[in-house]
Amino acid sequence: MIKVFLAVIFISPAAVAQTSKKIKTIIVDAGHGGKDFGAHGGYEGGLNSNEKDVTLEISNKLVAELRKQLPDVKIIPTRTTDIYQSPPEKADIANENHGDLFVCIHADAVNLKTGRRQIGQHRETRYHVKYKGKGRKKKKISTPYTVTVPTYEYFKIGSQRKGTSIWLFAAHKTSAKLSAVLNNEDIQIESGIDSVYNTINFDSPEGRIKAKIYADRYQKKSIKLGNMVDEEIAKTDRPALGLYQRQVGIWVLQATNMPAILIETGFITNHDDERYINSEKGQQELAECIASAVKKYKEDIDHISVAATAAKPVEKKETTEKYADRAKNILKRIDLTQAGFKVDLYDDGEIDGDIVSVYYNGKNILSNKKLTEKPISLNLTADPNRTENELLIYAENEGSIPPNTALMIVTEGNTRTEVRITSDAKKNGVVLFIKK
């Protein structure tokens, strides 16, 4: 059996603590639905099942199992019946319910090859052709004759690939080699009318920023959960194919503001897998494996979160230069080619209530503003009388997950620079701008 993994990744408690909070709400999404049938097991000898029906059955069992194993957690399904929801609608359900985890259920497929076989013979008329005469008098003479030829029927061949895989959103990875690894079969990561949502452009500045923010906040935890699900699947008789990251985009993963994984439960185009994911036994086994992994993940995250919330709040001062008694931690020097530039500030990591004040060349330009996933935009101008222009981030608190962290995006013309700001009760984060 070929197993493929992203990498052997060790995630220390300290690393996860930067972006951890207790798991209170879990969103379970049954892929496709309604007019969107998803993949189809349309090979010879198959069950002709549709992905939308399989995902609904498994998701409903998973919801029941999670409610059984995690009675204190709110479990919200995106759908419980055969209805259509676009990927943006699914993501909205997750975000509006303030989900802490998103688990999406799908079934894999490959582009089926066509086979043929002889089922008999039939008589067919053909013609001998010859010409008589020359020039304008040349004539074509066709003489018919009959031959016996084979009669063929054509059919779709079921795929050889089988097993369960987990997919993550990541703009810095690609699954281009996947088909080669999986016996060169043409894998359909996403089938159905909503595949248009898998063409997100991460080459654009906005796309790169969004991808980077997602990766910083949720990627480690998504990988952590994905590995746990893969480990539980490996305990069964099923092939556990590991984790994959996809650069092209999976809308429900990249548009949900929480750790998210997509589980391809099995290949609906494989004889054995199709029967497994359509059976009560197979569906229940998958639900129990996923629920067990989610429970272990929750216990790990909750344990880390309890330790993180014990941090002391930053003492506030009311003076104009209240930052003066803290050390300055110079994080980056940025050379400017023009006087004007723009600064966008986001919360870096989990959205945990970080509040900051901002000082530019000693002057307070922003007071007690909460950082979120939406930018706080500042349009600044370099002082021509200064060699260095100082932008200082003062932590008014440390949020629920210390320390206070901010992502700064500096835009000057067509140039964008990312800076990660860390500040606490002892030090201020400082960025220097040098106008040459």
Q: Please indicate whether residue 103 or residue 17 has the higher confidence score (pLDDT).
A: 103
Q: Which domains does the chain have, with CATH numbers?
A: 13-111+159-308 (3.40.630.40), 114-156 (no CATH), 322-435 (2.60.40)
- Per-residue pLDDT, averaged over 6-24, amounts to 48
pLDDT at residue number 151: 96
Residue 358 has pLDDT above 90, yes or no: yes
Residue 110 has pLDDT above 80, yes or no: yes
pLDDT at residue number 28: 98
Task: Give the percent of the chain with pLDDT over 70.
Answer: 80
pLDDT at residue number 302: 85
pLDDT at residue number 3: 33
Taking only the tens place, the pLDDT of each residue in 182-195 is 444 555 555 666 65
pLDDT at residue number 230: 95
Taking only the tens place, the pLDDT of each residue in 287-306 is 999 999 999 999 988 876 55
pLDDT at residue number 416: 87
- Per-residue pLDDT, averaged over 302-326, amounts to 60
Residue 5 has pLDDT above 50, yes or no: no
Taking only the tens place, the pLDDT of each residue in 22-63 is 899 999 999 999 999 999 999 999 999 999 999 999 999 999
Taking only the tens place, the pLDDT of each residue in 390-418 is 999 999 888 777 888 888 999 988 888 88
Taking only the tens place, the pLDDT of each residue in 192-236 is 666 555 555 555 666 566 666 666 678 888 889 999 999 999 999
Arithmetic mean of pLDDT over the chain: 83
| Three-state SS sequence of the chain | CCCCCCCCCCCCHHHHHCCCCCCCEEEEEECCECCECCCECCCCCCCCCEHHHHHHHHHHHHHHHHHHHCCCCEEEECCCCCCCCCHHHHHHHHHHCCCCEEEEEEEEEECCEEEEEEEEEEEEEEEEEEEECCHHHCEEEEEEEEEEEEEEEEEEECCCCCCEEEEEECCCCCCCCHHHHCCCCCEECCCCHHHHHHCCCCCCHHHHHHHHHHHHHHHHHHHHHHHHHHHHHHCCCCCEEEEEEECCCCHHHHCCCCCEEEEEEEECCCHHHHHHHHCHHHHHHHHHHHHHHHHHHHHHHHHHHHHHCCCCCCCCCCCCCHHHHCEEEEEEEEEECCCEEEEEEEECCCCCCCEEEEEECCEEEEEEEECCCCCEEEEEECCCCCCCEEEEEEECCCCCCCCEEEEEEEEECCEEEEEEEEECCCEEEEEEEEEC
